[in-house]
């Protein structure tokens, strides 16, 4: 069984030793509405190419993990219904049963590692949900960061989460959390969370050196890089936090939990901010793609 296939461009880049950046696909099927989802995916791929690397958007199509999508596949995913949202627990199920699925941070890390890709750009990682002391709702992304050797570039954890508990959990799991050019852990739509970044590095070469050092020391897991959203695109925490609280309260009242929770919250944030959260989301993903390309090139 050949569970992973590379696009021709990704296969050529890897064979030539050129930098490649993995990209997740839940942003296409679950994170943004049509047509912004496909437009954003294309912009992010273009940002990776502009940085001198080859983008490898990862998804499962008819049970086959694709590392790199053709434009027609991307277009079809953007309008498709019924795609599974895949993490570590159900990635093998989708392959075994021939299903279609988009990959979360965790599943993208696994697929990237198997495909020989060391750097991955996303929007924000999953983490500890608010109220997790009652629901135990904690994203598999955190455990994946502790076990799979892929560098993940993000704008912090999604701000709809419990950020202090997310950082504490990452520390417990031994995941290095790097603030890129900042002493403060970014908060997705906002540059500042009020929480210290455990580590700070100011250029791609330094991040690449950290990745190499961990490999030489045979330390398990990846590196998490928190890259603040550009200043011109951010929504300050004081402005967006009331909308987050309202969305979380609504989800709680409606009993929405598990895999349905994050898509619901992001959709409500889009409505409550009158579209501003989506504009910011697109800007931060592109920004992360640019940095990831630099890191991949430095490696």
Rounded (5°) CA angle 143-83-245:
60
Tell me the C-alpha distance between 203 and 237, whole Å: 26
Indicate the helix (H) or strand (E) that contains 65.
strand 64-67
Q: What CA dihedral angle connects 30, 195, 134 and 84, to 10 degrees? A: 20
Let me know how many helices (H) and strands (E) the chain has, helices first. Answer: 13, 11
> Is 165 an annotated catalytic residue?
no
| Marked catalytic residue, from 45, 54, 144, 158 | 158
> Is 158 an annotated catalytic residue?
yes
Which residues are CB-neighbours of 164 under 8 A, at least 6 positions away? 195
Q: Tokens 């419990």 appear where?
A: 162
Q: What CA dihedral angle connects 150, 156, 161 and 167, to 10 degrees? A: 70
Tell me the C-alpha distance between 141 and 107, whole Å: 8
Closest among 62, 61, 48 to 10, alpha carbons compared: 48
Are the C-beta atoms of residues 70 and 11 closer than 8 Å to each other?
no
Closest among 63, 64, 57, 5 to 26, alpha carbons compared: 57
Distances, alpha carbon 87 to alpha carbons 26, 124, 141, 142, in Å: 10, 15, 8, 12
Q: Which residues are catalytic?
A: 24, 158
């Amino acid at each position: 069984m050949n569970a992973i296939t590379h696009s021709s461009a990704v296969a050529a880049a890897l064979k030539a030793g050129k930098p490649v950046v993995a990209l997740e696909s839940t942003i296409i099927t679950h994170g943004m509405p049509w047509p912004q989802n496909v437009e954003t995916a294309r912009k992010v791929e273009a940002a990776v190419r502009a940085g001198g690397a080859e983008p490898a958007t990862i998804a499962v199509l008819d049970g086959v993990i694709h590392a790199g999508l053709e434009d027609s596949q991307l277009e079809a995913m953007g309008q498709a219904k019924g795609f599974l949202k895949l993490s570590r627990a159900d990635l093998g199920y989708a392959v075994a049963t021939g299903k279609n699925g988009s990959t979360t941070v965790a599943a993208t890390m696994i697929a990237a590692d198997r495909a020989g890709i060391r750097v991955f750009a996303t929007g924000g990682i999953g983490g500890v949900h608010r109220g997790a002391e009652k629901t135990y709702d904690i994203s598999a992304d955190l455990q994946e960061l502790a076990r799979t050797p892929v560098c993940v570039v993000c704008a912090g954890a999604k701000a709809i989460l419990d950020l202090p508990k997310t950082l504490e959990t990452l520390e417990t799991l031994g995941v290095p959390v790097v603030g890129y050019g900042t002493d403060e852990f970014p908060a997705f739509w906002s540059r500042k969370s009020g929480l210290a970044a455990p580590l700070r590095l100011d250029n791609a070469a330094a991040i690449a050196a950290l990745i190499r050092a961990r490999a030489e020391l045979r330390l398990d897991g990846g590196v998490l890089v928190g890259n603040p959203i550009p200043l011109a695109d951010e929504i300050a925490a004081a402005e967006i936090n009331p909308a987050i609280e309202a969305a979380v309260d609504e989800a709680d009242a409606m009993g929405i939990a598990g895999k349905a929770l994050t898509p619901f919250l992001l959709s409500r944030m889009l409505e409550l901010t009158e579209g501003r959260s989506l504009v910011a989301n697109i800007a931060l993903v592109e920004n992360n793609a640019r940095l990831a390309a630099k890191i991949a090139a430095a490696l």
